[in-house]
Amino acid sequence: MSVLVCFHAHPDDEVFVTGGVMRQAADAGHRVVVVTATDGALGEVPDGLLVDGETLAERRRRELEASTSALGAHRVVMLHYADSGMAGTTDNANPAAFCNADVDDAAARLATVLVEEGADVLTIYDANGGYGHTDHVQVHHVGVRAAEMAGTPHVYEAALNRDHIRRLMQANPEWSEDAAPPDLDSIGLADTEITTVIDVSAALAAKRAAMFAHETQIGDFGPFLQMPEEQLLAAFGLEWFRRRGAGDGLAETALPL
């Protein structure tokens, strides 16, 4: 049995870029651990969804537990840093926000989990955090340092594939160019930067179930919840990674578990 640790910024981030590899690793008999840096307390939530006295952080913790259960995780760890909010917002200045955490201090907390678990593989994000969110960028820096502290042998940057997004839009005229992020060139990684492409189509039902678990995040998941199976498979049937320290020309189809 190998151990996969997936480090994420907020509850719900686990679904898009690592949900499939988590489910498939668990199904293959490996141990799967999810670590989230923040409580996600600054996320948007539909009016009337929270019950009286319930905080968004409390709801998102429960949603994370339901999602990771669907994805096969054996343990969930929350580091309980404050959500930093989107880049450029006033919440970035909060001293308790994850984006302002001392990298070595935060890395030591993650490294403790890596050592406890004997992690074989750690997933983080690329240096831009996928799309520039301050917490996601910090996940990259903290994750890299934690792996050094713990001696974790394999570190993978989970990433969006911007070239794949372009191909999807070209193949689906109803997804007009206007619907694409205006700065698509700065999102994720290009085909040429990706070392590892994993077919997770067998885990698609689990990924969809995990999306449904995050009820408060309907703004993020809503467009995908009713998507036809064929389109959902095209959008989420592959997961992409860049293996840190890989030599030129590496082309993998699985994590080293």
Q: Could you write out the DSSP letters of every residue in 199-242?
A: E-GGGHHHHHHHHHH-GGGHHHHHHHHT--HHHHHHHHSEEEEE
Strand order in the sheet with 31-38: 75-81, 31-38, 3-8, 121-125, 154-159, 238-243, 196-199
Pair 43, 59: CB distance under 8 Å: no
Inform me whether the pLDDT recorded for 19 exceeds 60.
Answer: yes
Cβ neighbour number for residue 79 with a 10 Å cutoff: 17
Q: Name the DSSP letter for residue 97.
A: B
Q: What is the pLDDT of residues 41-61, one digit of tens each?
A: 888 778 878 888 888 889 999
Pair 81, 40: CB distance under 8 Å: no
Distances (CA, A) of 193 to 123, 127, 150, 197: 16, 12, 26, 11
Mean pLDDT of the chain: 91
Burial of 165 per CB tally in 10 Å (0-12, 13-18, 19+): middle
Domain ranges of the chain: 3-243
pLDDT band at 205 (very low <50, low <70, confident <90, very high): very high
Q: Is 38 helix (H, G, I), strand (E, B) or coil?
A: strand
pLDDT band at 186 (very low <50, low <70, confident <90, very high): confident
3-243: CATH topology: Rossmann fold (3.40.50)
Q: Name the DSSP letter for residue 196.
A: E
Pair 129, 13: CB distance under 8 Å: no
pLDDT band at 222 (very low <50, low <70, confident <90, very high): low
* pLDDT, position 45: 79
Q: Name the DSSP letter for residue 177.
A: G
The predicted model scores a pTM of 0.93
User: Residue type for 198, please?
Assistant: I
Q: What percent of the chain clears pLDDT 90, i.e. is strictly above it?
A: 66
pLDDT band at 218 (very low <50, low <70, confident <90, very high): confident
Q: How far is CA 234 from the centre of its chain?
A: 18
* pLDDT, position 63: 94
Q: For 135-193, where are the E strands, in sequence order?
A: 154-159
Cβ neighbour number for residue 140 with a 10 Å cutoff: 19
Mean pLDDT (whole number) for 118-133 = 95
Distances (CA, A) of 28 to 22, 197, 199: 10, 18, 14
Pair 84, 41: CB distance under 8 Å: no
Mean pLDDT (whole number) for 236-240 = 95
Mean pLDDT (whole number) for 174-183 = 57
pLDDT band at 174 (very low <50, low <70, confident <90, very high): low
Across 69-83, 99-113, 163-177, least confident range: 163-177
